[in-house]
Structure 1
Amino acid sequence: MNRARMIDSPAYATARPTLSVLIPFLRDDPTALLQCLDGEAPALEGAVELVVLDDGTGDATLTTALMGEVGAARLPVRLITLPTNEGRSQGRNRLATAARGRTWLFLDSDMRPDRPDFLQAWLALVRQDDPAVAFGGFSLLQAPTDGQFAVHRALAARSECLPVEVRRLTPEKYVYTSNLLVRRDVFESEAFDPGFTGWGWEDVEWAMRVSRAHPVLHVDIPATHMGLDTVESLMRKYEQSAANFARVIDKHPDIIATYPSYRAARKIRSIPGRGVLRGMARAWALRDGLPVASRAFALRLYRAALYAEAV
């Protein structure tokens, strides 16, 4: 395991947190998020800590700047810097070992709270209901509106940024580690599977396991996903995720069989020349001049064609 370097804020040593906010990052700069959260410090009175993990970025300038942020923070903050990357699952498992609170909030570094009392709302939920697992929701309220991200915005609005009433219909499906509350005892019984590599599905698979033993609560404490991707970047992520999709099928065939992505992949699997279909969908999605809705459909078709090789 990597030898980690740790830096603590002045308030860290004496704090006795109820809630630990766990923030992993790789090559992103979490400064804006840390500053936003630190604005709630007076109202929290040490009940919430931040644990931030640099999963092998290797940027000395960024590390130095973050050390300055941590030194000036009013919240209890620990910054953990790894010399090399450990991966999404293992990195989050490492964050969990550093958490001191009884309940943890996994929050991605490219998220921005949509309400000024974001941490206060989560803390109130913990104190009142003590949920095993809760997801606060995504939004696009603060996300960039550049044309290069239009397709991702369309996809996210359709499949991820859903109202709480919709998410509650299939609670295990709409769980992402970007705004996810987990009680310590639940995570200690079901950690993230380090067998997942690259991008995608490790959080959904974890929720599938957990949902067999614990209720998954959906609440309205949203944050904006600021890190929208270009079509090219999404394609690279989808290509990485195909093996992870196959791993989910192997572990949870009963649940994944109900997902539209699985049913679409099964249909494409039976089509002769599906490689040609995949190539056409890819080319269509990459054409800038076409309507955003049609490019988003083509990108979903491209993903389904990739997953067809795994079903």
Structure 2
Amino acid sequence: MISVLIPIYNYNAVTLIAFILEQLQNTDIQFEIICINDASTKFSFENNELKKFKNTQLINLDKNIGRSKIRNLLVEKSAYNWLLFLDADVLPKEPTFIKKYIECIQKSEDKVFVGGIVYSKNKPEKDNMLRWVYGKKREEISVEKRNYKPYQYVSGANFLINKSIFNHIKFNEKINKYGYEDVLFVEELKIKNFKITQINNPVYHLGLETNSIFLAKTKEGIENLLRLNSSQILKGENLKLLRTFKILKTLKITWFFAEGYNVFHKYFENNLLGKTPSLFLLDIYKLTYLCFINTKYKSI
């Protein structure tokens, strides 16, 4: 009935799978758990323990194929019509996590359900503060607010989808760089009028990157956003960053913001890598960097 699909990259997924497996075994449904290790260099020994788990399959790849391809591959390997996608670095908040998703399947005619993401109330160490602050303020969203804009608050870290719907969309494998594959997937759902139902069934996001890694991945994602938009793959109508950039472009003042990155990026980074990062400065940093790389590479 349900296939739990978990891509793994450099993370110990044993605790998550054990937690999910215990919940699944307390139901009367058919299930499988499929994990694909995307050529990780860490935690291979620990994750190989998954081969001993009931109804659990671990596939180890020799070559990294990326976030879009691995999700499509997980679906290709799946046997059941309901697909529960979870990232390896999450942990369900409640022991009723699986039960709630099963109730959605049994009691609703909807085909796409998003459970949400939460973060620990305890502040992390200074080196992980930026990712935690961003998660608490931008990703930990109440179900009421998520249902007000259901297509805006979707993460591949925790969602349930019927295979028939997934096969109409799939993750775009042209995205071979980091970032925005989830946004494009949701954009396609919206274009094809597939309803998204937001529910209160969150997972804790545990895998907090260091400030420097998160900032580097943010910049990489912005570069990918520029490529995807310039090639007409991603419209990005739900992305405030892209909407603002297009306004600046229309006004022909992207050069001014690009110069702002040149002059002030060290100041921004000093704040963002410190113990009290400002999300306002992060937004300015992202916008000025987008203008900077647009001016530098003349991609649009």
Contact 1:281/1:302, CA 8 A, preserved across alignment: yes
2: CA distance, partners of 1:65 / 1:227? 16
Structure 2 unaligned residues grouped into runs of 5+: none
1: CA distance, partners of 2:105 / 2:165? 14
Contact 1:265/1:305, CA 8 A, preserved across alignment: no
**Secondary structure of 1:221's aligned partner:** coil
Cα-to-partner distance string for 1:80-115 (whole Å, 9 max, x where unaligned): 111110111001100000111111011000011000
What is the letter of the counterpart of residue 88 of structure 1?
R
Partner residue of 1:292? 276
Contact 1:268/1:304, CA 8 A, preserved across alignment: no
Name which of 181, 185, 189 aligns with 1:206: 185
In structure 2, relative to structure 1, the CA distance for the partners of 1:147 and 1:245 (3 Å cut) is same
2: CA distance, partners of 1:173 / 1:252? 14
TM-score normalised per structure 1: 0.84
In structure 2, relative to structure 1, the CA distance for the partners of 1:70 and 1:41 (3 Å cut) is farther
What is the letter of the counterpart of residue 259 of structure 1?
L
Partner residue of 1:78? 57
Structure 1 unaligned residues grouped into runs of 5+: 1-17
Partner residue of 2:233? 251
Cα-to-partner distance string for 1:38-77 (whole Å, 9 max, x where unaligned): 2214312453321101011155xx4443333331x24x11
2: CA distance, partners of 1:257 / 1:211? 11
Contact 2:113/2:198, CA 8 A, preserved across alignment: yes
2: CA distance, partners of 1:143 / 1:46? 36
What is the letter of the counterpart of residue 164 of structure 1?
V
Report the number of matched residues: 287
CA RMSD of the aligned region, Å? 2.4
1: CA distance, partners of 2:172 / 2:75? 13
Partner residue of 2:258? 275
Name which of 138, 143, 147 aligns with 1:164: 143
Cα-to-partner distance string for 1:200-235 (whole Å, 9 max, x where unaligned): 111111111112221011111000111122221122
Cα-to-partner distance string for 1:152-211 (whole Å, 9 max, x where unaligned): 222222221101111122222211110011110011111100111222111111111112
Q: CA deviation at 1:126?
A: 1.3
Are 1:56 and 2:36 matched, yes or no?
no
- Greater CA deviation, 272-281 or 24-33? 272-281
Partner residue of 1:109? 88
Partner residue of 2:46? 65
The 5 Å alignment of 1:212-231 reads 212=191, 213-231=193-211
2: CA distance, partners of 1:258 / 1:130? 26
Q: CA deviation at 1:257?
A: 3.9
Cα-to-partner distance string for 1:236-294 (whole Å, 9 max, x where unaligned): 112221243231462353xx345321233345551444334224145323347967253
In structure 2, relative to structure 1, the CA distance for the partners of 1:47 and 1:218 (3 Å cut) is same
